[in-house]
């Protein structure tokens, strides 16, 4: 009597357990899915950290700092800001060897000195060390005191200044061929002395979608598959931390509206005083554009004047000139060709750079552009007159006078 019951019991329990184990072992949602969905009409702004009912885990938005200014050592090639890199330089060496200097900033201590030192050591082929073995020198950047670390591997060497400032960590890192880094170290130390930090500014917030990273998508929209992966590889604690890097990614927005290339500048309470010709119509400025004028020509032709401002050098003259040339379907030029196509008229804001191109616009129509960039007060102002060739030709003198008549606060 017992045996059948026992057998029945054992079988039933075994089957039940196996079934439940199998069910528990199943991994759902691990397949690629394909579906159609209606377009989002009004995408909500990026999620801010959610508060619980008690409001306890609200998290402040990270603050980032305005980009620093510096004096580039002779022989260093300054690259446009790239992704999270607030500054990027190539230090050329003999036989094609080179080193790279990168400036980045992230909120907090980014995992602490030991974690970063061990990561840097790993990059040059060295093993991890303990906290007691970390060697450093004192480093001072714009009166902020930090530490200088040096890691020498078999073929590569890294020198990093890690500077805590205003709740963020600034990294000035030179990495590359051992000989090049060793030779460039004195210049690197001089470079650190020349660095001046900017004033703090708030990080990009959801209510300001055109600032910070929001611009990156616009940059991609121009068909440029951004090589941000390179920037990521330079980030600290692996790919930690795009928080502070966000401010550096405003590049796309700047491109989209035709202004400069680089970080969006802090908004000034007092804009310059402009005196526009009467035939210019003040129109609604687009994203990142301070001022916008429309100029009507004959037979429906028209031109526009846009004024924008970006922090620092706005990406540099060569990068902006080549971008503007690209907008008129013109090939890029090399740095040594820059002097041939630029003029430097004096303006109340300081020395300016003026370019004048004629090419074709996105619609394939002949178009002309006169653009002026003026470095003033740690910012770069961009004035652009773009449109049909006859209208731009007619308005160029008025445009130059307009730029020269601007009074800066």
Question: Least distance to another protein from the beta carbon of 337, Å?
Answer: 27
- Tokens at residue 93, please? 């060496």
Nearer Cβ to another protein (33/132): 33
**Minimal distance, residue 377 CB to another protein, in Å:** 30
Candidate list 74, 96, 143, 229; residue touching another protein; CB under 8 A? 229
Identify the CA nearest to 147 among candidates 129, 130, 165, 127.
Answer: 165
CA distance 28 to 34: 15
Binding-site member from 75, 94, 125, 238 for another protein (CB under 8 A) = 238
The only residue of 85, 91, 99, 110 in contact with another protein, by rule CB under 8 A: 110
Closest separation between CB of residue 317 and another protein, Å? 26
Question: Cβ(259)–Cβ(288) under 8 Å?
Answer: yes
Residue 268 CB: number of other CB atoms within 10 A?
13
Contacts of 277 (CB under 8 A, 6+ apart): 395, 398, 402
Binding positions for another protein, 127-146, rule CB under 8 A: none
Q: For residues 94 and 122, which CB has a smaller minimum distance to another protein in the complex?
A: 122
Give dist(CA 191, CA 179) in Å, integer: 18
We find the least distance from the C-beta atom of residue 234 to another protein, in angstroms, to be 12
Binding mask 294-323 for another protein (x = CB under 8 A): ------------------------------
Q: Is the dihedral of CA 12, 14, 19, 20 positive or negative?
A: positive
- Given a contact cutoff of 8 angstroms between Cβ atoms, the answer to whether 198 and 69 are in contact is yes
Among 135, 230, 296, 341, binds another protein (CB under 8 A): 230
Q: How far is the CB of 105 from another protein (least distance, A)?
A: 11
Selected binder of another protein within 72, 79, 92, 115 (CB under 8 A): 115
Rank residues 17 and 296 by Cβ distance to another protein and give the closer one. 17
Alpha carbons within 13 angstroms on the beta-carbon side of residue 154 total 4
One residue of 152, 242, 328, 398 binding another protein per CB under 8 A: 242
Asked if 62 interacts with another protein (CB under 8 A), we say: yes
Which residue lies nearer to another protein by CB, 130 or 275? 130
* Residues facing residue 254 across a β-bridge: none
Min dist. Cβ of residue 385 to another protein (A): 29
Exactly one of 1, 38, 130, 132 binds another protein (CB under 8 A); which one?
38
Residue nearer to another protein on the CB measure, 229 or 364: 229
Site string for another protein, 90-109 (x = CB under 8 A): ----------------xxxx
Give 193-250 as a DSSP string: HH-B---EEPPP-TT-TTSTTHHHHHHHHTT----HHHHHHTSSTTT---TGGGGGGT
Q: Distance between the two ends of the chain, CA-based, in angstroms?
A: 102
Among 75, 112, 332, 345, binds another protein (CB under 8 A): 112
The answer to whether residue 34 forms part of the interface with another protein (CB under 8 A) is: yes
Q: How far apart are CA 274 and CA 254, in angstroms?
A: 22
Q: 197 is written with which tokens?
A: 């930090």
Asked if 29 interacts with another protein (CB under 8 A), we say yes
Q: How many residues bind another protein (CB under 8 A)?
A: 80
Contact 87, 68 (CB under 8 A): yes
The stretches of 66-146 forming alpha helices (DSSP H) are 112-123
Q: How far is the CB of 262 from another protein (least distance, A)?
A: 18
């Amino acid at each position: 009597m017992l045996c059948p019951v026992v057998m029945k019991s054992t079988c039933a329990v075994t089957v039940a357990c196996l079934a439940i184990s199998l069910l528990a072992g199943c991994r759902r949602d691990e397949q690629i899915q394909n579906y159609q969905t209606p377009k989002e009409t009004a995408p909500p702004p990026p999620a801010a950290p959610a508060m619980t009912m008690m409001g306890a885990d609200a998290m402040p938005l990270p603050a980032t700092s305005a980009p620093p200014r510096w004096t580039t050592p002779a022989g260093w090639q300054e690259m446009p800001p790239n992704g999270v890199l607030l500054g990027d330089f190539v230090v050329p060496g003999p036989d094609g060897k080179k080193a790279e200097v990168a400036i980045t900033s992230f909120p907090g201590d980014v995992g602490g000195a030991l974690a970063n030192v061990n990561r840097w050591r790993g990059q040059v082929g060295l093993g991890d060390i303990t906290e007691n073995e970390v060697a450093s020198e004192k480093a001072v950047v714009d009166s902020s005191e930090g530490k200088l670390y040096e890691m020498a591997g078999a073929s590569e060497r890294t020198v990093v200044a890690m500077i805590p400032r205003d709740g963020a960590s600034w990294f000035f890192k030179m990495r590359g061929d051992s000989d090049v880094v060793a030779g460039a170290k004195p210049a690197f130390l001089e470079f650190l002395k020349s660095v001046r930090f900017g004033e703090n500014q708030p990080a990009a917030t959801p209510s300001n979608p055109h600032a910070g990273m929001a611009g990156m998508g616009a940059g991609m929209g121009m068909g440029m598959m951004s090589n941000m992966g390179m920037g990521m590889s330079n980030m600290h604690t692996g790919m930690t931390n795009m928080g502070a890097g966000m401010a550096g990614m405003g590049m796309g927005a700047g491109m989209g509206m035709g202004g400069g290339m680089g970080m969006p500048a802090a908004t000034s309470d007092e804009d310059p005083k402009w005196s526009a010709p009467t035939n210019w119509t003040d129109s609604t400025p687009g994203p990142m554009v301070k001022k916008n004028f429309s100029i009507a020509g004959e037979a429906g032709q028209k031109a526009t004047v846009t004024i924008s401002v970006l922090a620092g050098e706005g990406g540099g003259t060569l990068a902006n000139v080549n971008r503007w040339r690209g907008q008129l379907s013109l090939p890029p030029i090399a740095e040594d060709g820059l002097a041939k196509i630029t003029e430097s008229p004096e303006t109340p804001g300081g020395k300016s750079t003026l370019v004048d191109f004629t090419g074709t616009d996105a619609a394939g129509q002949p178009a002309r552009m006169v653009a002026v960039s003026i470095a003033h007060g740690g910012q770069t102002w961009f004035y652009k007159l773009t449109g049909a060739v006859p209208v731009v030709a007619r308005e160029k003198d008025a445009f130059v006078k307009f730029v020269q008549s601007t009074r800066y606060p």
